[in-house]
Amino acid sequence: MATRAHNFFAGPAVLPVPVIEAARDAAYDFAGLGMSIMEISHRSKEFDAVVQQAQADTLGIMGLSADDYAVLFLGGGASTQFAMVAMNFLHNSADYVNTGAWSQKAIKEAQLLGGCNVVASSEDQNFNYIPKTLPFSTDADYAHYTSNNTIFGTEFKSIPDTGDVPLVCDMSSDMLSREMDYSRFSLIYAGAQKNLGPAGVTLVVIKRAWVEEKAKKDIPTMLKYATHVKKDSMFNTPPVYPIFVLGQTLQWIREEGGLGAIQERNEKKAALLYDVIDGHGDFYKGAVADKEDRSLMNVTFRLPSEELEAKFVADAKAQNMHGLKGHRSVGGCRASIYNACPVESVEALAKFMEDFHAANK
């Protein structure tokens, strides 16, 4: 097998090698059928088993009950969820926290569909921190936040307290990266292409009672959560191959020891890079104002000049390290170190950063 690159792209992003190998095999011959996973009927018992297992693994990893929560595999990315959440549950007014580009997109969609109350924002400092005061309404239809901000490198370290108001979270870039009480959420959604699998499928975990009691009925069929809950994600032909790969990733998480082991490794990886940044504060400047808000998934930093940043990215690429250029909207550098990013890759990057500092300070 060819040497694997050190992959720090923000998404589509690195996948576990065993998952890639399983996807490769299933692309040619799935379950001994002599057909690709992409060629078989989504109504077949073989694919039904894939979906059932992935749903069970999702709930098992999150510590949730199938009686209380439904697991959906939908198309359209998290971007469709921005509108779908509001279309289903925004009756009067909903509370939103604005912590970056993806929060802004969610807010824009909600504003098109009804009352949207932005209760807190970090836009005043270009989203380089997480707001500490979140004055949620007691009568909102729901409260929404983005747990990890891929572009800016900030992350909520605790679940906001919304009282009895249903809590909705976009976890696209840190889904299943750490332990938490997932039962505090009424709806979680995540585009797969960062921590779960390839682009093309969105994971939705939704409280059944909320759908039954509060979801609107007078909206298009495909945009109703109730449609997909009732049909177990099989109302229309689902994204079969991405679901298979997502399912393999869930099995990999279980085999790695679950969220406790995943979190421990993620914290170790992040510390390797933040320690270099903090150790050379005259050269590497972390993009996040408060260290407590630093993301475990996306490490963002600047160098003394844009010329040095370009050289950093180019020199790293020459050493088989890819995806280190910051998002076009903010510049700088970014290392995305999702669940599947090996510790060895992060160790190699940390050493490169030390060597680059020594040669260019």
In this prediction, residue 3 carries a pLDDT of 86
Closest alpha carbon to 175 in 154, 202, 200: 202
pTM: 0.97
Q: Residues 151, 130, 78, CA angle at the centre, nearest 5°?
A: 45
Q: Give the separation between CA 260 and CA 251, rounded to whole angstroms.
A: 15
Round to whole Å and give the CA distance between 182 and 158. 11
Partnered with residue 130 across adjacent β-strands are none
Does residue 304 contact residue 140 with C-beta atoms inside 8 Å? no
- Rounded Cα distance, 222 and 244, in Å: 22
Distance CA 154, CA 159 (A): 14
* Contact in structure between 150 and 102 (CB atoms under 8 Å): yes
Sign of CA dihedral 48, 179, 144, 105: negative
Q: Which of 141, 170, 174, 293 is catalytic?
A: 170
For residue 165, the tally of other CB atoms under 10 A from its CB is 18
pLDDT (0 to 100) of residue 114: 87
- Give yes or no for a cis peptide into 12 (omega within 30° of 0): yes
Domains of the chain: 17-256 (3.40.640.10), 258-360 (3.90.1150.10)
Confirm whether 194 is a catalytic residue.
yes
Query: Per residue of the chain (361 residues), what is the pLDDT tens digit?
Result: 568 999 999 999 999 999 999 999 999 999 999 999 999 999 999 999 999 999 999 999 999 999 999 999 999 999 999 999 999 999 999 999 999 999 999 999 999 998 899 999 999 999 999 999 999 999 999 999 999 999 999 999 999 999 999 999 999 999 999 999 999 999 999 999 999 999 999 999 999 999 999 999 999 999 999 999 999 999 999 999 999 999 999 999 999 999 999 999 999 999 999 999 999 999 999 999 999 999 999 999 999 999 999 999 999 999 999 999 999 999 999 999 999 999 999 999 999 999 999 999 9
Helix (H, G, I), strand (E, B) or coil at 195: coil
The residue annotated as part of the active site, out of 57, 194, 210, 224, is: 194
Distance, in Å, from the CA atom of 59 to the CA atom of 39, rounded to the nearest integer, reads 28
Active site residue 102: yes
- Determine the pLDDT at residue 16: 98
d(CA 311, CA 297): 23
Residue 86 near residue 114 (C-beta atoms within 8 A): yes
From 102, 174, 224, 293, the catalytic residue: 102
Largest CA distance in the chain: 63
